[in-house]
Amino acid sequence: MKTKYILSWILCFAIVSTVSCSGNDPAFPTVTENPSTDPGTNPGTDPGTDTTDTTVPAGSALYFRLGVKWESAAETAAFTNLNRAESGDCIVTSVTPDITCSFAIPEGQLYHSILQFRMGSKAAASCPILKFSPYYYRKSAASPVTDDAGTPADETAPGYNPAGGDAELSCADGKEPLCYGGAAPHMVEGFPKNTGHYFLPQVTPETSYTLNSENKLRSYYGAGVNYLVTNDLPTLDRAANANAPADIAASRERVGNTFNDYYIWCETFWAEPVFSIKVMISDENVDPDGGLDQYPDWPGVNN
């Protein structure tokens, strides 16, 4: 009997954590879980104080909320949930097991805002494992310009030098984080080995992950763009490689067929996807005074 109690305690400690997961992104990203550190020290995790969202009906299998606040706001300032006029309440039920939620944010606000990706379940038995994969894409597949001995390599396979970068990078093996664009490199510890997170709603009904503003991160080397957050690249353009104009080099370039959207989904204990939310984020380019595309996002690309 004593051994039974000890094993029960070990099991409890083993499941109380938010961890990272990795993989690709077909209809649902295929993931292989890798245990993370203590979730309290995970830089992308912000559990908050509320255990569930009171606006979500009891029994909802899966829900998502996108929050926003200015980068200059106090650390303790609350996030404001964005209106979801295009997507309803972003709640998954057995009637609508797979949905897409679309959000549009004024481009200047988006560039200077911190985002909160908050998700959870009020039906843990229907959503035993909840997973989140942020959006990302490959910026370059180039090989290095020098071999291991430091001598020039094949000039037809040049290295990749991000705009504003200090050195050329090898992107051929897919292991260099700077060879990727989008939110995931900044939201997932150990990216690209890990490409997402998961948690257990039976233990933690709701969890959130934050993404700092592009203005703070400067992930595109000072270029004023919203590619860090926006994933609204048209479907037909996703298969094509694209290069940026010289004024914002490395902001738009990408490798075809490497675009991965934001996905939130539930899995059974047998790893079967059962509910999902695809999140699409765009920026609003036109204001009442006629401003247009001051911080470019994907629909402005010229392939």
At residue 299, the pLDDT reads 76
Q: What's the CA gap between 126 and 123, in Å, rounded?
A: 5
Instruction: Determine the pLDDT at residue 110.
Output: 95
Q: What's the CA dihedral at 193, 183, 166, 155 to 10 degrees?
A: 60
pLDDT truncated to tens, each residue of the chain (303 aa)? Answer: 544 444 344 344 434 444 445 444 434 444 434 333 333 333 334 444 446 788 899 999 999 999 999 999 988 899 988 865 455 689 998 888 999 999 999 999 999 999 999 999 999 999 999 999 999 999 887 775 454 454 554 444 456 776 666 677 888 888 888 889 999 999 999 999 999 999 999 999 999 999 999 999 988 877 788 999 999 999 888 988 887 655 554 456 788 899 999 999 999 999 999 999 999 999 988 765 666 778 888 876 554
Question: What are residue 140's phi and psi, to 5 degrees?
Answer: -155, 150
DSSP 8-state symbol, 43: T
What's the confidence (pLDDT) of residue 115?
Answer: 96
Count of CB atoms within 10 A of residue 286's CB? 11
Supply the Cα-derived Rg of the chain in whole angstroms.
Answer: 20
Q: What is the pLDDT of residue 163?
A: 62
What's the predicted TM-score (pTM) here? 0.79
- Under a CB-based contact definition with an 8 Å cutoff, are residues 264 and 100 in contact? no
54's CB contacts (< 8 A; 6+ apart) are none
